[in-house]
Amino acid sequence: MKVTLIGTGLMGRPMGERILAAGHHLTVFNRSREKAELLRSSGAEIAASAAAAINSAECVILMLADGAAIREVLFDEDPKPDLGQRTVIQMGSISPTESIGFHQEVVECGGDYLEAPVLGSIPEARAGSLLVMMGASHFLFKRWCTFLQCFGPEPLLVGEVGKAAALKLALNQLIAFLTAGFAMSLGFVQRQGVEIDVFMKIVRQSALYAATFDKKLERMLNRDYANPNFPTKHLLKDVKLFRDEAEAVHLELRTIEGIGGLLALTLDKGFADDDYSAVFETVCPSDTKH
C-alpha cells in the first residue's frame, strides 16, 4: 500500500520505520526536512511538499503537533492537496472538537477520516507496542485495524470520531497530574531528610504506585531532562486542550488550571523542549535554600 506520513519528529520517525517494516511504500514530509531525511536510508521517499506527499498515497498518517499544523497541511496548502478517495488517519493529540471538524472537512473533500491517537512513547513506537485508540465508523475500523497493528497489537475502537481524541486528552492530563504529584512528594521527602529508597520502597508496595514514578525518578534526582520522549511544551498544549474541553462539559477547572500553571512556569524556566519531568524544577527548584 502507498502510505504517506506527515510529521517525522520524536514519535513519527519510529512509526515510519514500522510502516516500512510492514512492507508498505512510504512517502514522508516534515516541515524541517532534515528530520524527514532520517527515514530515507530506511527506504522512504521524501516529498517536496505536504500536498505532493498526500497526492501520492492511498492513506495519509498525520503525526503533527497540533490542530493548526494539521489544518495547514490539509487545507491551507497552495495548491491544496487532493483528499478525494484517500483516508486520513490523525494520530496526534488534538481536541475532540478539532477532530470532528477535520472529519467533516475531509469527508466534504471526498475522503475518509478517522482518528487513532496512541498512548506510549518512543520505545513503544519502535517496538510496535503502542496502545492505539480509534475513533471511527465500524466500517473504517474494520478496514484499517490490520494496518494500524504495525503500531500496536490491538487497536481499540473507542467510538465515533471525537471519542478517541477525548480519551487521549483524559490520559495525557493524568500523565500531567501523576508527574506533578510525584514531583511534589519527591521534593518534600528530600527536603525533610527522608531516604529516597525508603520512600520509593513504600510507594512501590502501595496502591499509590504508578510505573511512571520509576520512569521519571532518575531524571528528577539527577535534574537531567535532556533527550525527551515527550517535551514539556507538548504536555502543556494537551493540558490546555483538556481544560477547554472540560469547561465545555461543566467540570471543575481549578485542579487542571493549577497543573497548567506549573507547566507554564516550567516553560518559563527554559524547559519547553525538555522532558516533562522538568516540572520538578518548578515544584522543587534547585536554587532555593532550605
pLDDT band at residue 290 using 50, 70 and 90 as cut-offs: low
Q: Give the C-alpha distances (Å, rounded to integers) separating 274 from 18, 72, 267, 271, 280.
A: 25, 26, 9, 5, 12
Pick the residue with more confidence: 211 or 288? 211
Q: What is the pLDDT of residues 42-94, one digit of tens each?
A: 999 999 999 999 999 999 999 999 999 999 999 998 889 999 999 999 999 99
Pick the residue with more confidence: 35 or 244? 244
C-alpha cell at 108: 466534504
Per-residue pLDDT at 34 exceeds 70: yes
Task: Of 118, 152, 116, give the one whose Cα is nearest residue 136.
Answer: 116
Q: What is the pLDDT of residues 174-213, one digit of tens each?
A: 999 999 999 999 999 999 999 999 999 999 999 999 999 9
Q: What is the pLDDT of residue 17?
A: 96
pLDDT band at residue 38 using 50, 70 and 90 as cut-offs: confident
**Cβ proximity of 107 and 83 under 8 Å:** no
48: left (phi over 0), alpha (psi -120 to 50) or beta: alpha
What is the amino acid identity at position 72?
Answer: E
The pTM of this model reads 0.94
Identify the structural domains of the chain with CATH numbers, from first to last.
Answer: 2-160 (3.40.50.720), 165-283 (1.10.1040.10)
- Distance, CA of 21 to chain centre: 22
Per-residue pLDDT at 142 exceeds 90: yes
